[in-house]
């Protein structure tokens, strides 16, 4: 695919090739900090935006028009996967995700299905095709999914949480049910991402947003084996980026997984991330999203330093988590410009 993409810096970085400068994109770049996104949000509720290909594709390309990132990421949500699995998910304004029928025991699992993804999530595939038309092969398009562990957290807890005690409680009190749920989510996610690649995405990213809530030992039981299954199933079809927030301790193990790149959050220094991964894999990250509240000149200086610390090759410039809603447009622009202006 990459030969047809005009700006293929992102794909080249994923392959570990030498590049004139690292590519840049921002997690959650399609969305809540952009006034043009706010206009759409006033008119349509959250899942309507996800399920309407015209809206999802428009939201996806908005930041590209404004800033010219080196990759687009499809506007969607990780919770469309549980929805497709017959788990009711609502998005409550001012509250966040709400799952009225959480999975708390083996009996609750009986209603959970492994869906026909092209039917239940066909709207995502339509959004990909529409977005590819709008992008006109200028830059690559990234598709994504949540990690099985992170999705389990929501499915069991029933809502967002800082600690996800109920989710962890299920894993530790009834591991069999937890593993069955994790496997169902994994099987669905593999099918979902394969369909996304078939529909036209150039790379996929797995978000393990709540991985860091597990101890290193529990991470190796309840999260990593399922992520590894997904990477193994997808890696021949498209480059896979694994972003496990708070899981610096797993970087070494992930390096040999077959993933093309690993995301790093801001709690791990560039030097330590390179040390843990032996310099053998592309890293993505790790600017603290709150740092985008610094003055633009300071943002540019810090981004340049970050590139120097990671090194320009085998590196994708990004934030250490999603962009915050209150970031000034000029500051987001300074972040992107600093990378585009970078020369060794």
Indicate the annotated binding residues. 28-32, 47, 77, 154, 209, 321
274 is catalytic: no
Distance of CA 147 to the CA centre of its chain: 9
b/e for 77-113, b at 16 or more Cβ within 10 A?
bbbbbbbbbebebbbeeeeebebeebbbeeebbeebe
Q: Pairing between strand 72-73 and 141-146?
A: parallel
Q: Compute how many other C-beta atoms are within 10 angstroms of the C-beta atom of residue 317.
A: 28
What residues contact 222, with CB distance under 8 A and at least 6 apart? Answer: 149, 152, 171, 178, 179, 182, 214
Annotated binding site for substrate: 28-32, 47, 77, 154, 209, 321
- 242 cis-preceded (ω within 30 degrees of 0): no
28 is catalytic: yes
67 is catalytic: no
Residue of 21, 33, 41, 288 marked active site: 41
State the Cα–Cα distance between residues 159 and 157, nearest whole angstrom. Answer: 6
343 is catalytic: no
What residues contact 184, with CB distance under 8 A and at least 6 apart? Answer: 85, 109, 112, 113, 114
State the Cα–Cα distance between residues 195 and 179, nearest whole angstrom. Answer: 24
Residue of 33, 67, 154, 342 marked active site: 154
How many CA within 13 A on the CB side of residue 185? 33
32 is catalytic: yes
State the Cα–Cα distance between residues 139 and 127, nearest whole angstrom. Answer: 16
Owner of token pair 């399920």: 51
Report DSSP letters for 202-250, one per residue: SEEEEEETTGGGS-HHHHHHHTHHHHHHHHHHHTTTS-EEEEETT-GGG
Which residues are part of the catalytic machinery?
28, 32, 41, 77, 154
């Amino acid at each position: 695919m990459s030969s047809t993409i005009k700006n293929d810096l992102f794909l080249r970085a994923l392959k570990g090739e030498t590049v004139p400068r690292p590519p840049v994109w921002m997690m959650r770049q399609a969305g809540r900090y952009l006034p043009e996104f706010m206009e759409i949000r006033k008119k349509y509720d959250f899942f309507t935006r996800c399920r309407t290909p015209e809206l999802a594709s428009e939201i996806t390309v908005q930041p590209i028009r404004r800033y010219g990132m080196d990759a687009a990421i499809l506007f969607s949500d990780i919770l469309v996967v549980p929805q497709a699995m017959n788990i009711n998910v609502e998005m409550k304004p001012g509250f966040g995700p709400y799952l009225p029928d959480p999975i708390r025991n083996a009996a609750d699992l009986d209603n959970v299905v492994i869906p026909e993804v092209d039917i239940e999530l066909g709207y995502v595939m339509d959004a990909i095709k529409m977005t590819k038309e709008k992008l006109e092969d200028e830059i690559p398009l990234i598709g994504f999914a949540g990690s099985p562990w992170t999705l389990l957290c929501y499915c069991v807890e029933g809502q967002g949480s800082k600690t996800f005690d109920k989710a962890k409680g299920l894993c530790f009190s009834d591991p069999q049910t937890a593993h069955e749920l994790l496997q169902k989510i994994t099987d669905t996610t593999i099918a979902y991402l394969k369909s996304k690649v078939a529909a036209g995405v150039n790379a996929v990213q797995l978000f393990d947003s709540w991985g860091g809530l597990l101890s290193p030992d529990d991470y190796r039981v309840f999260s990593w084996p399922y992520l590894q299954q997904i990477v193994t199933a997808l890696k021949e079809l498209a480059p896979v980026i694994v972003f496990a927030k708070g899981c610096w301790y797993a970087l070494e193990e992930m390096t040999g997984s077959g993933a093309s790149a690993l995301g790093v959050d801001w709690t791990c220094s560039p030097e330590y991330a390179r040390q843990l991964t032996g310099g053998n894999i592309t890293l993505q990250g790790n600017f603290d999203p709150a740092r985008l509240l610094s003055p633009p000149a300071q943002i540019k200086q810090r981004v340049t330093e970050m590139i120097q610390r990671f090194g320009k090759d085998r590196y994708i410039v990004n934030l250490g988590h999603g962009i915050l809603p209150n970031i000034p447009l000029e500051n987001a622009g300074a972040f992107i410009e600093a990378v585009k202006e970078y020369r060794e």
